[in-house]
Every structure is written in C-alpha cells, then in structure tokens.
C-alpha cells in the first residue's frame, strides 16, 4: 500500500508562484511513475505533469508547459510541482498519484495511476 500526502497549496494572485509537494511512503520510490493531476469544479480530472522517478524523465500537459516543473527528491521520497506564472485557469484541486508497477512509460492519463493523495487546493485570483 502506498500513501501519498500533498502539501503546499493555497491562494495566489495571477503571475505568482506556488510549490506543491507530495510525500510518498509504503513502496519503493526510486522507480515509479508519479504524477500531478488537477480537477476544477464541474470539470473532469486532467493531467498536469508526470515523472518517472527511475530516470527523472518528465511529460507535461500543453497548458502548463514552460510554466510548471515537476521534480523529485528520491532521498525524501518526495515529488514536487513548481508552478510559476499562475493564471486563474490553474485554479483546481491538485492531486498526486503513483503507479509503482507500470515501468518507465508514464502517461498523462489518470487511468494508469493506482494510488492517489487527498488533494491540495490551489486558487489563483486575477
């Protein structure tokens, strides 16, 4: 069983920055697919960014490319999402997710991910 705990959400003005953290426990962290997803009220959950912790390879949704960066700290079993140049459309609940069994091909698709955190709210005002 894998436990994921997100932190770092909050309120920010457009143009500002926030950094989300996802602390993982209960499984080997060094070769997982880890991802950040978000869901706004009335909308479907969408992928934001994913990382393969075995090599640090990353993929991003087009809507956040150039603004968000996903990274990892294997020593702390933690994945981060640095969010810069925030816009009101980034307002959503952000979830961390993990797939310890899928190998190195990490998809921008929630169906791949087995374990999920409880989420952290990000609100961006104009």
Examine the pLDDT at 28 and tell me if it is beyond 90. no
Least confident of 11-15, 22-26, 46-50, 86-90: 22-26
pLDDT of residue 26: 83
Contacts of 42 (CB under 8 A, 6+ apart): none
Question: How does DSSP classify residue 28?
Answer: -
pLDDT of residue 43: 96
- Residue 32: count of CB within 10 angstroms of its CB: 27
* Mean pLDDT, range 61-71, rounded to an integer: 98
At residue 98 the predicted structure's pLDDT band, cuts being 50, 70 and 90, is very high
| Dist. CA 5–CA 77, nearest whole Å | 11
pLDDT of residue 73: 93
């Amino acid at each position: 069983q894998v436990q994921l705990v997100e932190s770092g959400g909050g309120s920010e003005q457009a143009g500002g920055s926030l950094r989300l953290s996802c602390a993982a426990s209960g499984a080997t962290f060094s070769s997982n697919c880890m991802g950040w997803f978000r869901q706004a009220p009335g909308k479907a959950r969408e992928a934001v960014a994913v990382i393969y912790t075995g090599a640090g390879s990353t993929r991003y949704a087009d809507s956040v490319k150039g603004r968000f960066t996903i990274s990892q700290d294997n020593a702390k079993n933690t994945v981060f999402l640095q969010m810069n140049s925030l816009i009101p459309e980034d307002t959503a609940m952000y979830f961390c997710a993990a797939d310890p069994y899928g190998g190195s091909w990490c998809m921008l698709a929630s169906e791949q991910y087995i374990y999920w955190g409880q989420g952290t709210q990000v609100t961006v005002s104009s």
